[in-house]
Amino acid sequence: MIADCHMHTEFSADSETKITDQVEQAIALNIPRICFTDHMDMDFPGGDFQLNTEAYVKRVLELQEEYKDKISIGLGVEVGLQEHLQERLQAYVDRYPFDFVIGSMHLIYGEDPYFGKIFDRVGDAEAYREYFQATHKALKKAPQIQTLGHLDYVVRYGREKDKEYSYKKFQDEIDEVLKLLVEKGIALEVNTAGFRMLSFPNPHPDVIRRYRELGGEMITIGSDAHTPQVMAYGYDKLPALLEACGFRYYTVFYQKKPRFIKIS
């Protein structure tokens, strides 16, 4: 079984995809389990990325019922981590019946690296270091999340992508993040959208391997598809990649509880 546990729909500010189009695509691709994880980024610069959670939850629960004979649909959310949001985020994730909460770092120096301006100002390597440090700080104060989304996301948008990036180069900063995941029992997400911009998923296999070495046991997988065309993108590469990193199971969350699914 494969699952795609990171995807967006028109409920996210950065997607216009109808939620039913994602469901239909998953059925067409024979994916037995998907989880919607629309964006909730509180205190985001400009005020974007507020999720209309009431309407979103209602719609996902309706679809769960409507499609129950064809596909298993999870209710998830991707929350943007920021240190000062801990209590608000905890109250938020407790308020709704989420199966799965992805915590993601989307901001450094108060900007989303997606827009690329930061790299002109501080250079790629400095921005990457800042990203890992910011992730560590925010993770210490994170609400209860099930997985950390796209660690090393920042590398997708650097001026020279991974030219100044390797696990070794940022080992100290990355290890701090991974140790905290293991300590808190949080999974590491392998986000295959990385394959569309880099030669590897986010994070890099060296980071995935290191998580395992440090005692990490839970890998969640997702394509971060904002459109049906890229759902499960790069999934053909995952089994060999994950096995080479020491994993024999994926993790899929139901009502925030992990289930382990054999990779092959």
What DSSP character marks residue 154? G
Q: Taking CB under 5 A as the rule, does residue 104 contact Zn ion?
A: yes
| CA 225 to each of CA 17, 36, 59, 191: distance values in angstroms, whole numbers, following the listed order | 10, 10, 19, 10
CA distance 115 to 157: 8
Q: Considering the rule CB under 5 A, would residue 9 count as an interface residue with Zn ion? A: no
Determine the interface stretch with Zn ion among 48-56, 172-180, 218-226, 246-254 (rule: CB under 5 A). Answer: 218-226
Strands, sheet with 147-148, edge to edge from the N-terminal-most edge strand: 3-4, 33-40, 72-80, 100-104, 147-148, 187-191, 219-222
Q: Cα–Cα distance between 34 and 118 in angstroms, integer?
A: 34
Establish how many alpha carbons lie within 13 A of residue 235's alpha carbon, considering only the half-sphere containing its beta carbon: 22
- CA neighbor of 257 nearest in space, from 144, 92, 103: 144
* Backbone dihedral angles phi then psi of residue 101, each to the nearest 5 degrees: -120, 120
Task: Decide if residue 152 touches Zn ion (CB under 5 A).
Answer: no
Closest approach, Cβ 156 to Zn ion, in A, equals: 10
Nearer to Zn ion, 49 or 250 (CB): 49
Gap between the Cα atoms of 70 and 31, Å rounded: 10
Q: How far is the CB of 70 from Zn ion (least distance, A)?
A: 24
Under the criterion CB under 5 A, does residue 224 sit at the interface with Zn ion?
A: yes
Q: Write down the least CB distance from residue 179 to Zn ion, Å.
A: 22
CB of 222 to Zn ion, least distance (A): 8
If you search the block for the tokens 């959310």, which residue do you land on?
77
- In the complex with Zn ion, the residue whose CB is nearer, 42 or 246, is 42
* 220 binds Zn ion, rule: CB under 5 A: no
- Which residue, 105 or 241, is less far from Zn ion as judged by CB? 105
Indicate the residue among 152 and 224 with the shorter CB distance to Zn ion.
224
Over the window 40 to 79, marking each residue x when it contacts Zn ion by CB under 5 A and - when it does not, the resulting string is --------------------------------------x-
Q: Which is nearer to Zn ion, 112 or 162 (CB)?
A: 112
Q: Identify which of residues 130 and 246 has a Cβ nearer to Zn ion in the complex.
A: 130
Report the interface residues with Zn ion, using CB under 5 A.
78, 104, 224
